[in-house]
Amino acid sequence: MTKIPVLTNTQASPRIQELWSKAPFVLNINRLVAHAESAYKPCMSLGLKLLTRAELPARYRELVILRIAHRHGARYEWSHHERIARNLGFTEEEIQGVRETDPSACFSDLDRAVLRFADELICHARAPDELSARLREHLSDRQMVELILSIGYWNMIAMLIVNAGVELEEQEGDTKKNG
């Protein structure tokens, strides 16, 4: 159920309309965040940079995003990132395994550590030192920071989606400049 409606093109400010006119597509999350006009560009830019310019392997990013989406019941976030995960080669077992409290054997030890790290940050804002040390054996300082940023960013987006009641775009054509 929509609690905060997404903005249509005509409802968006001229500044937001200009940004959207340059975008290849406009998703409902963009249309929601546009309510906070001054935060729109920095918020969307951070997400885009984490998606496209991070050194953190995309597999770990998508593991944590799916975990966050599942834990918060963020169907919108899950739907968009399930497609990305499948494009990265995630198996059906892995997609479903993200939903398990104790991730299954389909995941490597490192995958399970990444999922546990996400759980710890979601619930406690801090992971046990031994878990952080274990991840640092495999991830650079930059990748660790990007992992933490990714968990924080998509946790925030999930909270926004769930509390605003963001609905999935009805069809692919709905992501372009209509509305």
pTM assigned to the model: 0.93
Residue type, 101: T
What is the pLDDT averaged over residues 56-67? 98
Mapping DSSP onto H, E and C, the string for 116-155 reads HHHHHHHHHCCCCHHHHHHHHCCCCHHHHHHHHHHHHHHH
Q: Which of 76, 81, 93, 84 is nearest to 29 (CA)?
A: 76
Which of 39, 2, 40, 47 lies closest to 19 in space, CA to CA? 40
What's the CA gap between 178 and 124, in Å, rounded? 41
> Which domains are seen in the chain, by residue range?
8-53 (no CATH), 58-164 (1.20.1290.10)
What proportion of the chain, given as a percentage, has pLDDT over 90?
A: 91
**pLDDT tens column, 103-129:** 878 999 999 999 999 999 999 999 999
**Residue bearing tokens 């159920």:** 1
- Strands (DSSP E) along 81-122, which ranges? none
Predicted pLDDT of residue 65: 98
Q: What is the DSSP letter of 67?
A: H
